[in-house]
Amino acid sequence: MVSQIPKQTYPRPFLKWAGGKTRLISQYKDYFPKHYHTYYEPFLGGGAIFFSMQPSKAVLSDINADLITTYRCVKDNIEELITLLQKHKQEHNAEYYYDVRNNHSSKDLEIAARFIYLNKTCFNGLYRVNSQGKFNVPVGKYKNPGICQEEVLQVASQALKGVEIKHANFDEVLNYATGINDFVYFDPPYYPVSKTSNFTAYSHFSFDENQQIKLRDIFAELADRGVKVMLSNSDCPFIRDLYSDFSVHTILAARSINSNAQKRGKITEVLVTSY
């Protein structure tokens, strides 16, 4: 039996996500296009922009297969998923965490429950894999991690109804977004502004400088079609130069992922728009 959802609850991300955009939406909202029909998000991650905008028609995609499986289970099998998460919540401790981390199921619901459980209990909510594509983030030190946030999950499930969720690389958006009625938002792995920020192991596919250039070319092709395109990235000369033909806006963000708390603070990012 599906639980009743309080009317005052609004959709929001059910995952913790490095580089998630929840705190930046207030700065982004003035740049969202006023009119469009279909929303596309090829680097889905935590989905903060999607949940905030609640578009009537959307295609959400990501190269991370387990992430996409998780979204599909939240959309289609929410009660069964909650049951599995409740079990993880009851069993959780450091030993249990590493046991779950080291064992990958082939069943979709178990994959989704494992993904959310690890996301909520790992260090800083990071998603990182090694060269074999295996999740390798250590356990975090949380007193009461939100392993099974039933209300958040149920509201997210409702928001995802009717949404197309695809396992795909970002370039596949060229097959779908064709004209002025489409809006594409890219939130790729950010270009590193220093050697210590060079984190590209979101999947076993590296997102290097060549991938950034490929993404710019796709951005430009979509813009030529009349598609409304928006992109987030780090504020650095390489990215500003790469997108110099478009509108580049400065966004004030918070650097929250650093082992040294004193190095966390305000930084600037860029928001690029084609319109």
pLDDT digits (tens, 9 = 90+) for 154-208: 999 999 999 999 999 999 999 999 999 999 999 999 999 876 555 444 445 678 9
Read out DSSP for 159-191? HHTT-EEEE--GGGGGGT--STTEEEEE-PPPP
* DSSP-based three-state secondary structure for 136: coil
Query: Hey, which bits of 71-194 come out as E strands?
Result: 164-167, 182-186
Pairing of strands 228-234, 182-186: parallel
**Domains, in order of start, for the chain:** 22-273 (3.40.50.150)
User: Residue 88: pLDDT band by 50, 70, 90 thresholds?
Assistant: very high
Helix 65-76 vs helix 108-121: angle between axes, to the nearest 10 degrees? 110
Q: What is the pLDDT of residue 200?
A: 44
pLDDT in tens, 130-153: 888 889 999 999 999 999 999 999
Greater model confidence, 252 or 264: 252
Q: What is the pLDDT of residue 256?
A: 56
* DSSP-based three-state secondary structure for 256: coil
